[in-house]
Amino acid sequence: MSDAVLAAMPHLIKDDSITLEFALAPKTDAPVYRHPETSPLSVEGSGHFVRTQDGALLRVSEWSAHRSSDEGRTWQRVSLFSEQGAFKVQPTHSLAVTRSGTVVLAFLNTAQAHFRWLKSKNRPTRNTRLPLCVMRSEDHGRTWSEPQTIQTGYCGASFSLVQTASGRLVLSAQNLDYTAGRHYSLSYVSDDDGHSWQASNWIDLGGQGHHDGVYEGCLLPLKDGRLWYCLRTNHDWFYNAYSEDEGLTWTHMEPGMTASSSPAYLLRLQSGRILMLYNPLRPSSGESAARISGQFSQRTASWYRAELVARLSDDDAQSWTDPVTLAYCQGAWLAYPRAFEQRPGHIWIDTMQSGLKLTMDEAMLLQN
């Protein structure tokens, strides 16, 4: 990709203070360019940040929970697990504080992960696995219940956990169809503050390949009572699924916004607007992006992740502001974004892949 992207967006500024991480993404020596109205986020750690009901910030890492009473300047670490070696939290986890004050953590247990794809059959082995587990804390993250495995099989990512108007918890999930060789999506619901969970129906879009199907979705309750599930596909667009019974059944599905094959992140801001973060289908310069198929996907799919863009909706996802590129790095994967509204209108953003960390104000997106 040429720097036609920079030519198309000359307002982006080069920021040599931003250092990316490549443990979960391809390495690039290209510099990071960011929108001039963003700033680097200097808070230690990454992942989902939440605010507990005692006012502390909370995040988790592989084996620990971290609490901060000074807005992220310092952190106090506590162990998540009593049994060492049996559990390990994957970076794409979910963390939420319920109205009762309970903290619920849902995570993929990478201590039990195994993945093998049979090239001759283009499908996984039966022992391919990545279990989905849930834990609870009733003291603002200081101590935790023992993990509960709510799904066996292989869940590639689960990073969205919401509470509906009735108090029901709804968790995003996916699993492998071992015979068809693709991913399908579903959700899990809890009506007892995370003690027990029930699975929804499957959402299946066909396809075959180790990155094919419909998966890595983000949930958001809408003001009309429906629940929106924005799902990753290889079709050049997100797949929108809707539930009218708070996540137990998904009955209406349709193509959504154009995007590359990577997940979106949705956040209801305190203003009532919806923030959406994602990777666009192609560069802002209009150039085409590299596409992948074969055992990856039955159809060719865009794998463009060099730009992270943001949009706002003030009519519950009926319309959106124009996309604004928050950051660009040639050859990088600025993907799997997460957002936390640290104070009204002020948002912390980070990406699981490449470890980009920025802050921005909601007002910035309203000016474009």
Does pLDDT of 18 surpass 80? Answer: yes
pLDDT digits (tens, 9 = 90+) for 307-343: 999 999 999 999 999 999 999 999 999 999 999 999 9
CATH assignment of the domain containing 205: 2.120.10.10
Does pLDDT of 247 surpass 50? Answer: yes
Band the pLDDT of 2: cuts 50, 70, 90: low
Position 12: which residue type? L
Does pLDDT of 46 surpass 90? Answer: no
Angle at 240 between CA 221 and CA 103, to 5 degrees: 35
pLDDT digits (tens, 9 = 90+) for 183-226: 999 999 999 999 999 999 999 999 999 999 999 999 999 999 99
- Average confidence score pLDDT of the chain: 97
Band the pLDDT of 367: cuts 50, 70, 90: confident
Q: How many CB atoms are located within 10 Å of the residue 12 CB?
A: 21
pLDDT digits (tens, 9 = 90+) for 110-131: 999 999 999 999 999 999 999 9
pLDDT of residue 83: 85
What are the distances in angstroms from CA 314 to CA 255, 270, 272, 275? 20, 12, 7, 9
Mean of pLDDT values over 1-23: 90
Does pLDDT of 98 surpass 90? Answer: yes
Does pLDDT of 1 surpass 60? Answer: no
pLDDT of residue 47: 85
With a pLDDT cut of 90, the percent of the chain lying above it is 97
pLDDT of residue 304: 98
Number of domains observed in the structure of the chain:
1
With a pLDDT cut of 70, the percent of the chain lying above it is 99
What are the distances in angstroms from CA 196 to CA 37, 192, 193, 247? 44, 7, 8, 15
Residues 81, 145: Cα–Cα separation, whole Å: 9
Enclosing domain of residue 41 = 4-366
Mean of pLDDT values over 88-99: 97
Tracing tokens 């993945």 back to the chain, one arrives at: 115
Does pLDDT of 303 surpass 80? Answer: yes
